């Protein structure tokens, strides 16, 4: 799964993802947890960055509690689950990240590991989003991160990982004209462009309230 990630934003962030607009505040995040607002990239002629809540609430859900169960979407069941099937055609997004955390069982406890591209560049997780309207009429845009079986580097820590799109697949993932399910799923099968590195970090990352650069330092 993917339960925490980082985004070390700089001005290069907007250039990297071809974003036309600017957010009022975009600060580095070192411990992004479910339920928080996250910068997400969508195609709105041209690309735009919008803040979405992490944890998908389907538009047909009766209440917001569904979001706590849908922070991730398994690539193997995307076409089987009603919450994700329709979103594959028209509600795809990029979730920018600098890296992510996974936990490895070591003895009686779990050790957090930070996993990031060796080149130190941004990556894009494949995401899906939806808009839910609360009973009070508030519109809330939420997203989920697609996951897959772990690649060799991550498999040494955890069995699952977020789908990191290949650089050349990012634009196609956002393309609203790409609607055939088999074509969309093929993008998720392309290997990522950047080699990953994993190393242990402080257990302070377990507390979502902690959010500072020391969290990604090697333990």
Catalytic residues: 2, 102
Cis ω for the linkage preceding 46 (within 30 of 0) = yes
Cβ–Cβ contacts within 10 Å for residue 156, how many?
12
The number of angstroms, rounded, from the C-alpha of 166 to the middle of its chain's C-alpha atoms is 14
Report the b/e string of 83-111 with b at 16+ CB within 10 A: bbeebbeebbbbbbbbbbbbbeeeeeeeb
Cβ–Cβ contacts within 10 Å for residue 80, how many?
9
Query: What residues are paired with 145 via a beta bridge?
Result: 72, 127
Inter-residue contact 200 to 111 (CB < 8 Å): yes
Q: Tell whether the torsion through CA atoms of 176, 1, 70 and 13 is positive or negative.
A: negative
**Token duo for residue 45:** 């002629």
């Amino acid at each position: 799964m993917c339960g925490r990630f980082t985004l070390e934003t700089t001005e290069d962030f907007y250039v990297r993802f071809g974003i036309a607009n600017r957010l009022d505040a975009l600060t580095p995040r070192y411990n992004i947890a479910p339920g928080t607002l996250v910068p997400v990239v969508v195609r709105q002629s041209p690309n735009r960055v919008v803040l979405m809540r992490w944890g998908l609430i389907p538009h047909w859900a009766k209440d917001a509690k569904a979001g706590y169960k849908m922070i991730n979407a398994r690539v193997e069941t995307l076409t089987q689950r009603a919450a994700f099937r329709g979103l594959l055609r028209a509600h795809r997004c990029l979730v920018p990240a600098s890296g992510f955390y996974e936990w490895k069982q070591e003895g009686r406890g779990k050790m957090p590991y930070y996993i990031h591209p060796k080149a130190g560049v941004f990556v894009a997780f494949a995401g899906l989003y939806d808009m839910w309207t609360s009973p009070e009429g508030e519109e809330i845009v939420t997203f989920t991160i697609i996951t897959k079986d772990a690649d060799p580097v991550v498999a040494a820590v955890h069995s699952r990982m977020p789908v990191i799109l290949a650089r050349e697949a990012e634009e196609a993932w956002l393309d609203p004209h790409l609607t055939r399910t088999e074509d969309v799923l093929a993008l998720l099968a392309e290997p990522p462009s950047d080699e990953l590195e994993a190393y242990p970090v402080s257990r302070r990352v377990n507390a979502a309230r902690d959010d500072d650069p020391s969290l990604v330092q090697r333990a």
